[in-house]
Amino acid sequence: MAPPRRWAGFLAVALAAGTSLAAQTNSPLATRHDAEKPAHDATHYDVWIRLADSGSVFQAAVSTRWTLRDSTPIRINLDPAYRITKVTVDDRPATHRRAGSDLILVSVPAGAGPRVVTRIEYQGAPPKFERQGRKSGLDDGLVQRGSGASRKIFADNWPNRARKWLAAQDHPSDKATVAWTIEAPSALTVVASGTETERTDLGGGMTRWRFSIEQPIPVYTMVIGAARLAVTKLAAAQCAIRCIPVSIYTYPEDSAWAVSGPFKRSTEMIDFFSRLVAPYPYSELRHVQTSTIFGGMENSTVIFYDEQGYTSKRLGEGTVAHETAHQWFGDAATEGDWHHLWLSEGFATYATALWNEHRGGDSALRATMADARTAVLRSAATERPIIDPEATDLLGLLNTNNYPKGAWVLHTLRGLIGDSAFFRGIRRYYRDHEHGNALTADLVRIMSDEAGTDLEWYFRQALTQPGYPVIAAKASVEGGHLVIELTQVQKPAYGTFRLPNLQVRVAGRIVDVPMTERSARAVTHWSGGPAPAVEVDPSGWWLHDVAKP
């Protein structure tokens, strides 16, 4: 479905009051607001971890290859719950100290070159998960429960909780490859980000598993898991380009339902997103039932789903589509700052709408976006902008701003510039930032280029203004003409919105009423009779509310 193409002049009018992105030196769309900023570049992690048959104590060693930017200390995140037994730089003992609760500073030896390898050996148990000052009974970061054959161990990293168990530079802008050596009880099946390369019986009831991934991924998607799991291999995906193995890992009792239910079309999803955006970015994909605190978590190559979604039969195809889309947006093309999270969650949410459109046509897309609109209108999060410099609670970013409202940013953009420019821009944005990072300004530049006009005004409006337009509409008959008047009546704190391609429907007719200021007026011929009701935005391209008469 493509939007109307008759809006050639509207952008020029809208841009008259705008400012070129190229002229901005401090655009909020290019600003990094995170308090943590990586000092050096971690390029590869080599992780050894030995998991226990019961309890929460484990042993680990992490060797990290670094490209140094200067002589400042190397910053490694690790919770103070662990006892560090050894720290080296290039196999030599290194000076290190704690700075803050979860930061280790490792001194760079004099004369060290631009590339070094650190190694940290440690052991202990994860702290308990804490949210807003309240602790739960769950381990944080690496959730470990049960013993023997009922043992379940799953990493749960998002957003910056990998540091609760993994010594790493825990920020999405620092992506790296990773290799795993995992020693685990032999009764358990082990999974990890990447592809399995070795499985060796160590004796004594322990098995060694090795995994590796060749593409750099954000630390929050570097995970491991171990449990008694049934494995179902599905048909390979994307075989027209390169066959991608797809499999489902579930607790044995939930296997049949998972295959016939939420994952029935999981291979088709990869095919669809591969055609829509780009080839699948990794070597395989596994969908895993776990003890994550999230409904789904998009770990690269190994998506984790909440076990309760299986037992309650609430896990649906929409969640699978959302997490699958994250393999492209969030995992391969990653936000460079947490405050630009909409580049991950908004994209995955809109990708789910596109999947619904693919399966059910225009009506399915409209229904999905209508549900997204309802969620935004009911949410208090909309009192803040999507890119919110004051946000400090990273878990709090999992809100309607970054999910359905972020999806609406893309949907409205599609309506503004048309399908051809929109999807060209999405593909180019992904291609330019695959296995790297991006800020919103990068998307603005590409979309403006593909549309042939500067779109900074639109992205500033959509992402840095709170709220949404609330439109009061009325029609009156004056001397054989129908006069349509629209007025924005939202809270003053929301500001004024420009809706240059806005339309209304009156008596079955579509009338253009572009709003470049707080009010707009259109006059059309009227053959008689009382003034009809006015339907605002009948094609559904704008996130808005309608004021009650």
One fold for 10-30+336-464 and 41-228:
no
Q: Dihedrals φ, ψ of 446, to 5°?
A: -70, -45
* Spatial contact of 537 and 502, defined as CB atoms under 8 Å apart: yes
Average pLDDT over residues 424-452: 98
The topology under which CATH files domain 10-30+336-464 is Neutral Protease; domain 2 (1.10.390)
pLDDT in tens, 92-109: 999 999 998 899 999 998
* Spatial contact of 210 and 180, defined as CB atoms under 8 Å apart: yes
Mean pLDDT for all residues in the chain: 93
For residue 390, the one-letter residue type is E
pLDDT score recorded for residue 131: 75
Please determine, for residue 12, whether its predicted confidence score (pLDDT) is greater than 60: no
What's the chain's Rg over C-alpha atoms? 26
Calpha distance 299→214 (Å, rounded): 15
Question: Count H helices, E strands: the chain?
Answer: 10, 31
The topology under which CATH files domain 470-546 is Immunoglobulin-like (2.60.40)
Calpha distance 131→21 (Å, rounded): 39
* Spatial contact of 432 and 372, defined as CB atoms under 8 Å apart: no
Q: Dihedrals φ, ψ of 334, to 5°?
A: -110, 140
The domains of the chain are located at: 10-30+336-464, 41-228, 470-546
Please determine, for residue 1, whether its predicted confidence score (pLDDT) is greater than 50: no
- Three-state SS at 530: coil
Please determine, for residue 25, whether its predicted confidence score (pLDDT) is greater than 60: no
pLDDT score recorded for residue 111: 83
Calpha distance 59→36 (Å, rounded): 27
Calpha distance 287→320 (Å, rounded): 9
Task: Compute the residue count for the chain.
Answer: 549
Please determine, for residue 471, whether its predicted confidence score (pLDDT) is greater than 60: yes
Q: What is the pTM of this model?
A: 0.93
Calpha distance 344→252 (Å, rounded): 32
CATH number of 41-228: 2.60.40.1730
pLDDT score recorded for residue 133: 66
Give Cα separations from 225 to 68, 182, 185, 191 (angstroms): 32, 10, 12, 5
